[in-house]
Structure 1
Amino acid sequence: VYYSRQTREGPRVFRHRLGAAEADEELFGKGYGPEKIIGAEISRDGRYLIVTVLHGSAARKAEVYVQDLAKGTPLRPIVTDVEALFSGRIGGDTLFLRTNWNAPNYRVLAVDLRDPAREKWREVVPEGKSVISGLSAVGGQIFVSRLEDVQARVQACTPDGRLLREVPRPGIGNMGGLAGDWDSDEAFFTFSSFARPQVIYRYSVSKGTSEVWARQEVPLEAQDVEVRQVFYTSKDGTRVPMFVGHRKGLPLDGRRPTLLTGYGGFNLAELPSFSPRAAFWIDSGGVFAVANLRGGNEYGEAWHRAGMLDEKQNVFDDFVAAAEWLVANHYASPDTLAITGRSNGGLLVGAALTQRPDLFRAVVCGYPLLDMVRYHRFFVAGYWVPEYGSSDDAAQFAVLRAYSPYHNVKAGVRYPAVLFTTGDGDTRVAPLHARKMTALLQAVTGSPPDRPILLHYDTQAGHSAGVPASKQIEELSLEMRFLLWQLGAGEGSAGR
């Protein structure tokens, strides 16, 4: 078994021999400090070990190494000296690299692992107008996942990049890339949408046909839900997409309980995937919206860079413009509009509530970054300096101070009701952010009964994985009850 883990000196790759009494053997990573991220995986046929080194959480550079386990040869560097991102998938003896090297929207290169010299690399899928968001190698073909105006598409191509067909998309939602073996005709992919839980499809590579293989069942009729994509204009004139979901036939009279969310960071695209939060909100008669903000990967690296470092304010402007669009188009009013976000999304809603407190009635701010002047000094936040910048740099200090939610709370302002959530188990974003922001907002507002400032603090729960289902249900139920109360909707009957 091959795996990577963080040590005091930095990330390392280890080999564990099943049943062996001796300690695991360190294979790779010496010389890399804790600011790096190292991943290790085995090709599906078990022959090759692929090691990828990311230079930080918001990396602009990646290194790739490959080892032929069948021959027992040492790890061999494929690319280490290019300021670009690379991720690999192996089909037979070929390493297919998805990269933004000289291609902000990404392209696909083919590397013959029997002779991987760079001058022999071949471009098999060139960069296009749409973003190449993923890549897989199955059944003797490569499957290229694209985002075209944030609509997922998967294309089947020959190993030399010739387009064969497009994998049918079941609707507006999140379509996952294909998974399977290089020498097998059978592959699988997933699809979900706001109110449609994940469905797994079995796909025949040779025939290009698919059928439902497994589905999750929830007590919600997906055919009664309408999901549409809209576009709006941000403060600087940028065209920004957003997905909006609600029950079919819902009257749009400006009084619908509306929940808006987003992320806008770390090169991550937000697609209309299934979530219990969205399903509950829509089933309760509300409107659920996801804004595709700059800082993500919806339109490639240029979209990402337009929402990071000194351009971070663009993300908040995009989010505010999304809220204004929902009001202008009679989905909601400021009294029936709420926002929610976690982690970097917690920073997003924290900035929104301090910059435009008049636009929202309620905010759920989960596991957030809120003191952007000092954030990098706690836990693993040093990883995020390439994304946000650091106040240790005078120019970056000015940018961070200008939008840092904690430093922009003002007395005499009527803020929305806010529910902060965090806990001692969060080892990624220090819980001190939510604690001190709660205290500050309570001090300047008095936490009035109609718009309270609340903190849900769990001494055991954490940032992401590892939270038991009972805790997840408890936290989500608390958030939904808080929002429905604030938006004036009876529990389970929002807007009905």
Structure 2
Amino acid sequence: MFQINHSFPIMKTKTILLMSSMLLTLAGARAAGIHYPDAKRVDTVDVYFGTPVPDPYRWLEDDNSAETAAWVAAENKLTADYLAKIPFRNAVRKRITELADYEKRGAPFKVKGKYYHFRNDGLQNQSVLYVQDALDAPARVVLDPNKLSTDGTVALQQLNFSNDGRYMAYVITRNGSDWNEIFVMDLTTGETLPDHIVWAKFTDAQWLGDGFFYSAYDAPEDAKSSKNEFHKVYYHRLGTPQTDDYVEYRSMTEPLMFYQAMVTEDERYIFILETDGDGNALYVKDLHDRNPHYVRLADDMRYTNNPIGVDHGKIYVMTNQDAPQWKIVSFDAEHPSAASRADFVPEMQWVLSSASLANHRFILTYDRDAASHAYVYDEQGREQYEIELPTFGSVSFNCKKDDPEVFYSFTSFTFPTSTYVLNLRTGLTKLLFRPNLAFNPDLYVTEQVFYPSKDGARVPMFLIYKKGLKRDGKRPVFLYGYGGFNISMNPAFSYSRTPFAMLDMGGICAYTNLRGGGEYGESWHEAGTKMKKQNVFD
């Protein structure tokens, strides 16, 4: 099992206003008499393979120019003035605010016997990290990211804990930039150490001994426009300046590759993931080897290889190589080599979406018709039983290789995110937290239907509406569809996306899982890309 990156939900209260605007548009507000700000046209023409392509609004791509800022401000003023005249706007906004303003919690995760979780009291921009000595003990604040800046421009991205539980590295970003900074907190005192990493990007902090690995570029001459090349993995030792950090891994010939380190909890194995943004190569180094060095396990970047962990003398990897629906393979951990690869859990009918080690067993989650189904597998790769979930929805797990306690969160369209603990020794599941909000799920119906696309493909769609509603073809319908980037759109509660205010007025919400997404594997994804993109809209 690897050190875990702990991410968390970020609340954005501005979404309430955006949702209000969407509902008001659906209500049929007319745009008659609106005079939009003039957008000048320029004589910019690019020539592609001998064909001239005009781009008259190229100037708007400069989002730092005063001219662009003035045009955006005028557009925003027009929109705000129009929305302010709609008489029931405040009622809709009040309902959405009621749905947003409730306590939210993430699933707990354990670090050296302590239980950590993220919590949001309702409308906080960022969730707060808490710790408990036991699941029923009082919680105390560890880190409140809302206090990292006075103007809300600093966002917490992820956390990594040292394996002895004493330190916590946290990664932040400023002003929406993809540049990262890393700080370290001493959890025994609550103090932030002088260690400060800058110019990091696409990284976390993977602990080894009294320091951690991170990924970064050389400091750019101009952070806004400089081209980033030769991503590297560095090692930082606590108490030393960043200038003393050494390069653990880099390429001398591939300037556009990205690199990430992963360290097992026992700090024996270091993995390096090398990617061009699509698939990835995978390398491993055994620190117990007499001559520690990186060994290639996979190098075909058409495929993705995600390490799950090391146990039972084997390295376990989740991969889509030779398996469009994904499978789990193993490698010899004592003598790692690509030649030692063997199938562990073969490819199934449904898409394998996640895999974790827990109490020397495996928690596997499959997507079946765009909904999560979770199973426990034994150390031989055999299915033991399915974890019962409340309804079709989305599930995510926090677990450790040596611990029987498995924490998970579950959500669906009318099921706000709740958290549970499963004891793998007893097989018993216990509800830990269910939010209390101004919403009664029993008033709504969620059903899944299937319809034929233009070419006959069977496409899934979820319908949400109030119980007792007569579906007579005269109801307003909010249709939300997505199909792209191999991303699955599984059921989840969202006050900002599901228009409950409209449902309360007799409307229907429809979510459709279009081709181009990842719900049914690579063939489903490819059927909505490139020359087949029209399938998404048909």
Considering the TM-score relative to the shorter chain, is it more than 0.5?
Answer: yes
Note the residue ranges of structure 2 that are not aligned, 5 or more in a row: 1-211, 219-227
1:194 is displaced (CA, Å) by: 1.4
Higher strand share: 2
1:112 maps to: 332
Structure 1 CA distance, aligned partners of 2:213 and 2:510? 41
Residue 251 (structure 1) shift: 2.7
Aligned residue number for residue 102 of structure 1: 322
1:133 matched to which residue of 2?
353
Partner of 2:514: 293
Secondary structure at 2:535 match in 1: helix
Q: Are the counterparts in 1 of residues 296 and 337 from structure 2 also a CA contact under 8 Å?
A: no
Specify which of 270, 279, 282 is matched with residue 64 of structure 1.
282
1:165 is the counterpart of 2:385 = yes
Cα distance in 1 for residues equivalent to 2:459 and 2:263: 38
Cα distance change on mapping 1:161 and 1:31 into 2, 3 Å:
same
2:412 to 162, 182, 193: 193
Q: Secondary structure at the match of 1:276?
A: coil
Check 1:31–1:253 CA distance in 2 against 1; reply closer, same or farther (3 A cut): farther
| In 1, Cα distance between equivalents of 2:253 and 2:420 | 40
Compute the TM-score of the two structures, normalised by the length of structure 2.
0.54
1:230 and 2:449 equivalent?
A: yes
Among 311, 323, 328, the residue aligned to 2:532 = 311
Match among 78, 98, 117 for residue 297 of structure 2: 78
- How far apart in 1 are the matches of 2:270 and 2:326? 24
Q: Distance in 1 between matches of 2:343 and 2:514?
A: 31
CA contact (8 A) 2:327 2:345 kept: yes
Indicate yes or no: 2:493 matched with 1:274.
Answer: yes
Q: Deviations over 1:208-241 (max 9, x none)?
A: 2211122343321122222111101111111011
- Flag the 1:43–1:238 CA change in 2: closer, same or farther, 3 A: same
2:233 corresponds to 1:13: yes
| 1:164 CA displacement | 0.8
What letter matches 1:157 in structure 2?
Answer: Y
Is the counterpart of residue 156 in structure 1 residue 369 in structure 2? no
Give how far 1:77 is off: 2.3
CA distance in 2, matches of 1:40, 1:32: 19
CA distance in 1 between counterparts of 2:458 and 2:435 reads: 35
SS of corresponding position for 1:262: strand
Partner deviation per Cα, 1:226-265 (whole Å, 9 max, x = no partner): 2111101111111011122222222323333322222211
Q: CA deviation at 1:289?
A: 2.1
Higher gyration radius (CA): 2
Aligned sequence identity (%): 32
Residues 283-304 of structure 1 show CA distances to partners (whole Å, capped at 9, x for unaligned) of 6443222211111111111111
Cα distance change on mapping 1:225 and 1:42 into 2, 3 Å: farther
1:277 is paired with a residue of what secondary structure? coil
How much has 1:170 moved relative to structure 2?
A: 1.3
> Aligned runs of 1:173-192 on 2, under 5 Å?
173-176=393-396, 178-192=397-411
Q: Say if 1:116 and 1:68 are closer, same or farther in 2 by CA, change over 3 A.
A: closer
- Corresponding residue SS for 1:231: strand
Task: Output the CA distance in 1 between the equivalents of 2:213 and 2:469.
Answer: 52
1:4 partner amino acid: S
Are 1:156 and 1:163, in contact at CA under 8 Å, matched by a contact in 2? yes
The answer as to 2:251 corresponding to 1:40 is no
Shift of 1:203: 0.9
For 2:511 and 2:256, how far apart are their aligned partners in 1?
31
Aligned partners of 2:266 and 2:494: how far apart in 1?
33
Distance 1:21 1:281, change over 3 A: same
Q: What's the CA shift for 1:135? A: 0.9
Read off the aligned partner of 1:62 and give its amino acid letter: N
User: Residue 466 of structure 2 aligns to which amino acid in structure 1?
Assistant: R
8 A Cα contact 1:103 1:127, kept in partner: yes
Q: How far 1:312 sits from its partner (Å)?
A: 1.3
Counterpart Cα distance in 1 of 2:260 and 2:434? 30
1:159-203 CA-to-partner distances (Å, cap 9, x unmatched) read 221111111111121122x32111111111111011222111111
> 1:245 maps to which residue?
464
Structure 1: state its 5+ residue gaps: 318-496
What TM-score do the two structures reach when normalised by structure 1? Answer: 0.59
Q: Per-residue deviation at 1:63? A: 0.9
Are residue 215 (structure 1) and residue 426 (structure 2) matched?
Answer: no
- 1:330-369 alignment, distance < 5 Å: none
1:26 corresponds to which residue?
247
CA contact (8 A) 1:45 1:181 kept: no
CA distance in 2, matches of 1:55, 1:173: 32
CA contact (8 A) 1:180 1:187 kept: yes
Quickly say closer, same or farther: Cα 1:243–1:5, change in 2 above 3 A. farther
User: Distance between the aligned counterparts of 2:265 and 2:366, measured in 1?
Assistant: 23
Distance 1:215 1:46 in 2: 36
Distance 2:246 2:294 in 1: 14
Alpha-carbon offset, residue 101 of structure 1: 1.5
Check conservation: 2:295, 2:336, Cα contact below 8 A: no
- 2:250 & 2:264 partners in 1: Cα distance? 20
Aligned to 1:364: none
